[in-house]
Structures are given as C-alpha cells and as structure tokens.
Amino acid sequence: MNIRVTERIGILPRHSILSLGGSLAAGLLAISSIFIIFGVNPFFAFAKIFSGSFGSIYGIKETITKAIPLILIGSGLTLAFRAKFWNIGAESQLLMGAIFGTWVGLNWGPHLPAPVIVPLMFMAGFVGGALWGLIPAILKVKFSINEVISTLMMNYICNEFMKFLIVGPWRGKTKHGFPYTDDLPASAILSLIPGSRIHYATLVIAIAVVIILGIAVYRTRFGYEVRVIGENPDAAKYSGIDFFRTTVIIMIISGGAAGLAGVGEAAGIHHYLSYPESISSGYGFTAIIVAWLAKLNPVNVIFSALFFSGILVGGDAIQISLGLPAATVQIFNGTLLFFLIMGDYFLKNRVTLQWREEGN
C-alpha cells in the first residue's frame, strides 16, 4: 500500500467545509477517548458541555461573557497571523491593557463620571496592549528577532510585572493585605446586562472591531499590504511596501484589541486587579485557536469565539458535575487545534491511498 500526496489545485468551498467538519469530528473522537479513560461516557460529557454552555439561559449568558475577550483578541490575531506575524503574546497584551485601564480607573475614576472615565479606560487599555505588542514588532523588523520567542517571553515579563504591582505599590488599602488592588470606583465599573455578567460596552466594542477589521483586510490599502506581506515578503519589498510601518500598525491593532479585552475583564468582571491567571484564564492563548478556526477571517471570529467560549463554560460544567480535572478544557482545546491544523494539511494536499502496485 502506498500513500500519495499531491498538492490540491483549486480549493473549492466544499473542500474547506469538509476539512473543517472532518477535523472537528476527528478531534471530538480523539477527545472521546480521553473521556473514556476517565470512565466517563463521551456522549454524556459532550451533552453536558453543550447543555452547560448553550442549553440554558444562564449558560448562554456565560458563553457570551467569555466570548467577548475571545472575539477581541481573536480578530486582532487574524490580522497579525495574516501577515505571518506569529503573535503568541496576546495574553500579556491583554494584561497590559488591564493594568493601564485599571490605573486610569483607580486614579481618575473618583473624579470623573462614567461616560468620561469608561472611554478613557478603554483608550488606556488599547495603548497598553498596543505598546506591549509594539516592542516585538520593532524587535522583529529592526533586529530580525523572531517574534514567536519575543512575544512568548513578553508574557512572562508582564506576568511578573503584574504580580509585582499587586503585591507591591498597587496593593489595595481596603484589601486587608491580600495582593489585590482596591476596587475600581463605581463610575469606572462597566455596567452589565441585568441578570448576567455581560459587560455590553465591551461586547459592542468587540463587534465594532470585527467589522472594522473585516473591512480593513479585504477593502483597504492597509489590508492589501498585510496580505501581500503574508503571501510573499520578497514581493512586498519589491513593490515598495513599508515593512516597518505596516508591521507596527498590525501589532498596534492586534495588541490594542487584546488590551481592550483586558479592560473589559478588569472593569467588567473582576473590578480590581489580582493575579494574572485569575484576570485572564488563558484567553490570549485560546484566541490563537479561535483565529485559526476562523480561517483568519475576522468576521468568522464571532462564531469560533462563541464555539470556544462554549467549551470553556461547558468545561466548567463537566468539571463540577463529572469531577473531571481542571485541565480537561485545555486538553480539549489543544486537541482541537491539533486536528484543525491537520485538517489544513488535507485541505492543501490531496492524499490518496493506493492499494496495490500498479502495472504488475
């Protein structure tokens, strides 16, 4: 038996749908085996995840709440990934956004009304995320430093910096010595849709970002330059596209979008800064899969973000009701990403099995 691999020429929509469906199915199959190892009926577990995330009003509200940061970060990442800038640092760009936003909220919030302070916080958050994203962009274009390494390492720097802030100078006077900042003043706290944790201001911003990026990628000069750089950097250089400028703008947008998500988490959910892992719970990494599942199309990000936030929420549900370990959700996500990337391979190549030797 032989395996033949040939490049697929002319990819049709049905191929894309088939590869997406196939890889999701194969991924779920692999995850099933993990459930079986834990002695849990996989169908029961999937049903639980689904009913936990989409099966009740409460579940749907939670799913939307967790989709907000994923939409923001994921759509920003589609832009960076399209230009083949592998931004693995969205997690810390989110945290920087939270830090900047919280600083503005804590210091200016007491003196300003909500309609003034909230936009200021979002602006500060955008700037924080953008600055943190800008550093690896400059390192890459000016000094050819690999962005995968630098963005990843920036995550650790930001983590430690944030811990330093909450343990040291920013530790709240009202927190009885716990390593948290003080609560944000009431004007700086995002209002929620009643009966839920959906901080709608951030949701509106997220949808706006998606629309803007959707138009930017496919309709603007900037989007054109991003696509040319991603497809062929040599041709981009030949055509006089300014690498430095374009990469910087890409990372300002990608980091800034993550920073906006950070403000949403800090001011909408937690109301103060605490340990990095409780502020973000890995949204910056999950968003990588979100962007990938969306095939780097910002508009698709809304759906893939809901899908993965559903898994996060449903994962909490099965943790509680089936007693599975907390890492189950991460295994779930990792396995799916693995199969999605594999699906891409089968989309780009035709693989056929040849059962007998020909010509004998």
Partner 1 sequence: MAKIESLEMKDISKSFQGVKANSNVNITIRKGEILGLLGENGAGKTTLMNILYGLYQPDSGNIRINGKNITINSPMDSRNHGIGMVHQHFMLIQNHTVAENIALGFEKTPLFFPQRNLNEKILSFAKNFNFEIDPSRMVWQLSAGEQQRVEILKALMNGADLLILDEPTSVLTSQESRDLFQNFREMRDQGHMIILISHKLDEIIELCDRVTVLQKGSIVGEAATKDVDKKSLARMMIGRDIIFQIEKEPMERTEKVISVEDIVVKSDKGLDTVKNVSFEIFRNEIFGIAGVSGNGQRELVEAITGLRRVEAGKIVMDETDITNETARCIHDRGIAHVPEERIKFGIAPGLCLYDNAILKQHHKSKYSSSLFLAYSKIKQHTQQLLSEFKVLAPSINIQTKNLSGGNIQKLILGREISENPSLLVASHPTYGLDVGATEYLRNQLLKRRREGGAVLLVSEDLDEIFELCDRIAVMFRGEFMGVLEADDQRLEDIGLMMAGSMRVTD
Interacting residues toward partner 1 by CB under 8 A: 2, 4, 6, 8-10, 219-222, 224-225, 227-228, 231-232, 234-242, 354, 357-360
Q: Which is nearer to partner 1, 91 or 225 (CB)?
A: 225
DSSP-derived 3-state class of residue 7: strand
Min dist CB 10 to partner 1, Å, is 5
Backbone phi, psi, residue 215, to 5°: -70, -40
Whether 279 and 95 have beta carbons less than 8 Å apart is answered as: yes
Q: Which residue has the tokens 């990026």?
A: 213
Closest distance to partner 1 from the beta carbon of 360 (Å): 6
**Which of residues 99 and 236 has its CB atom nearest to partner 1 in the complex?**
236
Answer for the pair 251, 80: CB distance below 8 angstroms, yes or no. Answer: yes
CB of 212 to partner 1, least distance (A): 11
Cβ closest to partner 1, residue 233 vs residue 282: 233
Query: Rounded to the nearest whole angstrom, what is the least distance from the CB of residue 240 to partner 1 in the complex?
Result: 3
Angle, CA of 308, 309 and 313, to the nearest 5°: 120
SS3 category, 3: strand
Rounded Cα–Cα distance for residues 3 and 321 (Å):
44
Closest CA to 337 of 301, 299, 308, 303: 308
Q: How far from 168 is each of 100, 127, 161, 162, 180, CA to CA, in Å?
A: 16, 23, 10, 10, 10
Q: Which residue number, 3 or 326, has a Cβ lying nearer to partner 1?
A: 3
Nearer to partner 1, 171 or 227 (CB): 227
Q: Between 34 and 241, whose beta carbon lies closer to partner 1?
A: 241
What's the min distance (Å) between Cβ of 230 and partner 1?
Answer: 8
Q: What's the closest the beta carbon of residue 356 comes to partner 1, in angstroms?
A: 11
Tell me the C-alpha distance between 99 and 87, whole Å: 20
Q: How far apart are the first and last CA of the chain?
A: 14
